A and B are shown apart, each in its own frame.
Chain A
Amino acid sequence: MIKTSVEPWIEGPLRGFVEEAGVSLALLLHPSGQVLAQHGFSRAIDIMSACALAAAIHVSSAELGRQLEGRPFSGLHHAGTERQVFLAEARTRRGAYIFLTVFDEGSSLGLVRMYFDEFCVKLANAAPPPLDTPEPMLTENFERDLNRNLAALFGRA
Chain B
Amino acid sequence: MSTPFTPVLDSLTRQRGVRASLVVSADDGITVDSNLQIGQDGARVAALAASLYRKARKSAQAAGLGSTGFMQMEAESGRLCVIGGDEIVLVVVAERTANVGLIRVEMLRAAEALA
Contacts and interface: CB of A to CB of B under 8 A. Distances in A.
Nearest to A109: B28
B27 interface: yes
Contacts of A114: 43-44, 47-48
Q: How large is the interface on A (under 10, 10 to 19, 20 to 34, 35 or more residues)?
A: under 10
B90 to A, nearest CB: 15
A107 B31 CA distance: 16
A111 B51 CA distance: 8
Contacts of B30: 109-110, 113
Q: Is the interface of A mostly helix, strand, loop or mixed?
A: helix
A108 to B, nearest CB: 4
Contacts of B27: 105, 108
B50 interface: yes
Contacts of B25: 110
Contact of B43 (A105, A107, A113): A113
B43 A108 contact: no
A107 B50 CA distance: 10
B46 interface: yes
Nearest to A118: B44
B84 interface: no
Interface centre among A107, A109, A110, A113 (most CB of B within 10 A): A110
Contacts of A107: 51
A109 B30 CA distance: 7
A113 B28 CA distance: 10
A30 to B, nearest CB: 29
Interface of A: 105, 107-111, 113-114
Given A113-B43, A114-B44, 19 more contacts: A105-B27, A107-B51, A108-B27, A108-B28, A108-B29, A109-B28, A109-B30, A110-B28, A110-B30, A110-B31, A110-B43, A110-B46, A110-B47, A111-B47, A111-B51, A113-B30, A113-B47, A114-B43, A114-B47
8 contacts: A109-B29, A109-B30, A110-B30, A110-B43, A110-B46, A111-B47, A113-B30, A114-B43
